Amino acid sequence: MRKTFEPQLTFGQTPIDQIKIDMRSRDEIPKLLLGLQYIYCNPELRQEVFNILNNMIPEHTNSKTGRPGMNLWKILVMATIRINCNWDYDKLQEIINNHKTIRQMLGHGMMDDDKTYPLQTLKDNVSLLTPEILDKINTLVNKEGHKLLVKKKIKN
C-alpha cells in the first residue's frame, strides 16, 4: 500500500515549508528543492501532482493490503533529483543517505540518521516514474510557473 505523503510530523522533523534552502548556492540541488517545496506547499498543485503519481501504481496492486511501499512524495523527490542531476542510482543513494537538506525534504528528522535507502529499493521505486509521468508533472508545474509570472507582472 502506498501513501502520498506522511502528514503527521515525527519528533525532530522539520516541516517541508520551513526547510531552509541555501539560495546562494550555484548548484542545481537548492533550485530543485525550492521547486519541490513550492509543489508541496501549494495544496491544489500538490493534489494534481499526486493524482498523476497515483497512475504509476500498477493496476493489480491492492492499496489496502501488503507491506507499505515508499510514499509517493519520496519517490517524486528522489526521481526529480536523479533525473535533473543526471545521476545513476549509486550516486543517488550516496546523496540521499547523507545530504541534510535532501533528507529533510524526504521527511526525515534528527532522529532518523540511521534510516538509509538500499540501492535495490531505490531502483524499484524511483524507476516507477516513467518519462511520460514526469512530462505530465512538468507540464503542470510549468503552467503554475506561468501563473506566477502573470501575477507578478500585474503587481508591478
Residue 29 and residue 102 in contact, taking contact as beta carbons nearer than 8 Å: yes
The HSE-up count of residue 111 (CA atoms within 13 Å, CB side) is 5
Share of the chain above pLDDT 70, in %: 85
Within a domain: 3? no
Query: What are the distances in angstroms from CA 81 to CA 34, 95, 126?
Result: 12, 10, 10
Number of domains the chain is built from: 1
For 41-78, the pLDDT digits (tens) are: 999 999 999 999 987 776 666 556 545 568 899 999 99
Q: Is residue 86 part of a domain?
A: yes
Burial class (CB in 10 A: 0-12, 13-18, 19+), 30: middle
- Does a structural domain hold residue 11? no
State the residue range of the domain holding 93.
16-155
User: What is the DSSP annotation of 47-88?
Assistant: HHHHHHHHTTS-TT--TTSSS----HHHHHHHHHHHHHHT--
Residue 7 placed within a domain: no
In a domain, 39, yes or no: yes
Average pLDDT, the chain: 86
Does residue 2 fall inside a structural domain? no
pLDDT tens, 96-140? Answer: 999 999 999 999 888 888 889 999 999 998 998 888 898 999 999
- pLDDT-derived band at 153, boundaries 50, 70, 90: low
Task: Say if residue 96 is exposed, middle or buried (CB neighbours under 10 Å; 0-12, 13-18, 19+).
Answer: buried
Outline where the chain has alpha helix (H): 28-41, 43-54, 72-85, 89-98, 100-105, 119-126, 131-155
Write down the pTM of the prediction.
0.85
Q: How does DSSP classify residue 16? A: G
User: Residues 145, 147, 152, 155: what is their CA dihedral angle, to the nearest 10 degrees?
Assistant: -170
